[in-house]
Amino acid sequence: MNKQNLKTFSSSFIGGIGWAFGASIGFALLITILSYVLNLLGGLPLAKNALNYLQTVK
């Protein structure tokens, strides 16, 4: 592997890690905002029913 190929590989690898990190943070922010809005609107009925069921099973 020559020097140019190694430089291209390392640059692409670091770029891929940065892209994955950014996508993960963006997805987490999107889910946080969506959850907050759904909570303000009354929540998710299916999730609420499932949690109530799990609490009564104990």
Whether 56 contacts 48, CB under 8 Å: no
Whether 36 contacts 42, CB under 8 Å: no
**Predicted confidence (pLDDT) per residue in 1-58, tens digit:** 788 999 999 999 999 999 999 999 999 999 999 988 887 777 666 667 777 777 887 5
For residues 3 and 28, give the distance between their C-alpha atoms in angstroms, rounded to a whole number.
38
Query: Which residue do the tokens 């020097």 mark?
Result: 3
Give Cα 3 distance to the centre of its chain. 36
Q: Where are the domains of the chain?
A: 3-57
pLDDT at 58: 58
